[in-house]
Chains A and B, each alone.
Chain A
């Protein structure tokens, strides 16, 4: 049963990943990313990491990809984007090479490792104790062993929020940005013609 779930969700993850890199339309790429993230959430569930699965959906699918889509819609990035020119020269070639290298490394481990790669040990994400639920274990660990790291992260996030607010504020002494020359005095006709006297 677990193998079937693994194969199906792995296929979804891979298809989504391929979709992300191969879609010409950025919105399609974002949709493929959602499929990938969902597949990963199912994989987490399959490993018994329920909290991770649901956090994956809430944080990544529900918030981050929504933000990505938001930016794309507001900035109007659409299919007219030129995909032929590479921002970095030789980027695609390098990406392909590194991808092949990585694939080779994984295949080499599988082929050379033979039986040793299946360790049969408990998965890292699985529940440690069958009786205490994942969530209470994570909660206990966060607020006892790792409480300092938790507080530091909270502080970091607060600093990030304050920083974003400060950055988005305009300084008091800044003169308003003038209208660009091309926008004013083009000598155009007004968009709507002024009705003549008695035209009604």
Chain B
């Protein structure tokens, strides 16, 4: 009922339960190790961009630096400010970490998708998918979790009982709520193209030899790039990563919602942030780049699933760090303008355009007329939006609307 996984469709005996438990532990451990490496990777790559050395003492290439920092955080004194709302203050960091963990459960991180296989692998005599859960609602679960992640930020700022954290958290939650719309609309484009919500189904739709035998059948191309770009931008804002890291803007907000947090509670926020980066990269790969789907060059197919997934994910993580070390932070009004006046109208318009094309193909309408009408409607919409924005700006300059 809960899963499209063939493992759970048959008789559920002890072995099945143990396999599920094994997958839970494996995903949990993978996510923790990936987060640890991501923190190291980000510090190291940013250092390279800035002509510094970066962490280089703990372990080879400083790879154990995160572990050392984590241990240090554990032994620091745990301070809770006097004016803080105690219970909520303790709850808030947990509320950021738990959705970050849960998000990864629906990501297919491996499986044999080569040569027309359906992505299932044999595990102790049972056929299963290499993902923790494959619910029919699939990608909606990811949206639900990312909408819950707002609470941790919001409550952390409020419960600190001090001004800067409150300002930071109000700003952060406004940002996250606004960009969720653009995120959801670009996911809609993917769902429209693949015709399924299940993450496994989305990966399956992108598997195979592709157009002309060598251009992969990725949603990146099938949805026409625009949803991918919108999703990438919106996900950076959703993650509060640079250039949208206004939440942390140290110059204005001291350190935002985690100003008053110290020791392990601060570490939890920190870990959740990087864990979300890892998960978001995994979700982008799943939605737009075919996840673990890819050709098996030599050796077993299931191994290549994991290799392709890790390669694609690392590429995105590098892109995230690259963007961070290159671009300056945007202003708050620029951030809101980008979200509401560019990304949301763009993704909405593109979604309508995609839907039109699908209907046109089904009904066998005249292709040229469809494209021309679509362009006319799109341009009209763009003109109207431009007009509305210009009018509101003019009124603001006249001082009519404040």
Contacts and interface: CB of A to CB of B under 8 A. Distances in A.
Interface of A: 25, 27-28, 31, 34, 45, 48, 50-51, 53-55, 57-58, 61-63, 66, 69-70, 73-74, 133-135, 169-170, 172
Contacts of A170: 400-402
A74 to B, nearest CB: 7
Contact of B148 (A25, A48, A61): A61
- Residue of A53, A62, A169 with most partner-chain B CB within 10 A: A62
B137 A135 contact: yes
Contacts of A135: 136-137, 197
Given A54-B140, A170-B400, A63 B170 contact: no
A31 B135 CA distance: 27
Nearest 7 pairs between A and B by C-beta? A62-B147, A57-B144, A54-B140, A54-B137, A50-B137, A133-B136, A58-B144
A69 B170 CA distance: 10
B68 interface: no
6 contacts: A27-B88, A31-B91, A58-B144, A62-B150, A69-B154, A73-B154
A51 B138 CA distance: 10
A53 B138 CA distance: 12
A61 B147 contact: yes
Contacts of A134: 136
Nearest to A62: B147
Given A57-B147, A66-B151, 20 more contacts: A50-B2, A50-B135, A53-B137, A54-B137, A54-B140, A57-B144, A57-B148, A61-B144, A62-B148, A66-B150, A66-B173, A66-B177, A70-B170, A70-B173, A73-B154, A73-B166, A73-B169, A73-B170, A170-B401, A170-B402
A169 B401 contact: yes
**Dominant secondary structure of chain A at its interface with chain B:** helix
B273 interface: no
Given A63-B147, A66-B173, A170-B400, A58 B154 contact: no
A112 B37 CA distance: 63
Interface of B: 1-2, 85, 87-88, 91, 135-137, 140-141, 143-144, 147-148, 150-151, 154-155, 158-159, 166, 169-170, 173-174, 177, 180, 197, 400-402
A70 B171 CA distance: 10
Contacts of A61: 144, 147-148
A172 B91 CA distance: 47
Contacts of A50: 2, 135-137
Contacts of B402: 170
Contacts of B148: 57, 61-62
Contacts of A31: 88, 91, 155
A62 B144 CA distance: 7
A101 B87 CA distance: 35
Contact of B85 (A27, A45, A51, A169): A27
A34 B173 CA distance: 17
Given A54-B144, A57-B147, A135-B136, A63 B154 contact: no
A171 B17 CA distance: 65
B345 to A, nearest CB: 14
- Residue of B144, B154, B401 with most partner-chain A CB within 10 A: B144
A74 B173 CA distance: 12
A73 B400 CA distance: 28
A147 to B, nearest CB: 14
Contacts of A27: 85, 88, 155, 158-159
A81 to B, nearest CB: 14
A42 to B, nearest CB: 12
B154 A66 contact: yes
A12 to B, nearest CB: 15
Contact of A74 (B143, B155, B159, B170): B170
A172 B400 contact: yes
A73 B85 CA distance: 13
Nearest to B147: A62
Contacts of B169: 73
A152 B175 CA distance: 31
Contacts of B150: 62, 66
Contacts of B400: 170, 172
A44 to B, nearest CB: 11
Contacts of A73: 154, 158, 166, 169-170
A63 B177 contact: yes
Given A50-B136, A66-B173, A134-B136, A58 B143 contact: yes
- Residue of A50, A51, A53, A55 with most partner-chain B CB within 10 A: A50
A58 B136 CA distance: 16
Given A27-B158, A66-B150, A133-B136, A54 B141 contact: yes
A109 B166 CA distance: 49
A58 B177 CA distance: 11
Nearest to B400: A172
Given A50-B135, A70-B173, A58 B166 contact: no
Contacts of B1: 48
A54 to B, nearest CB: 5
B161 to A, nearest CB: 10
Nearest to B177: A66
A50 B140 CA distance: 10
A58 B137 contact: no
B172 to A, nearest CB: 12
B151 A51 contact: no
A134 B138 CA distance: 13
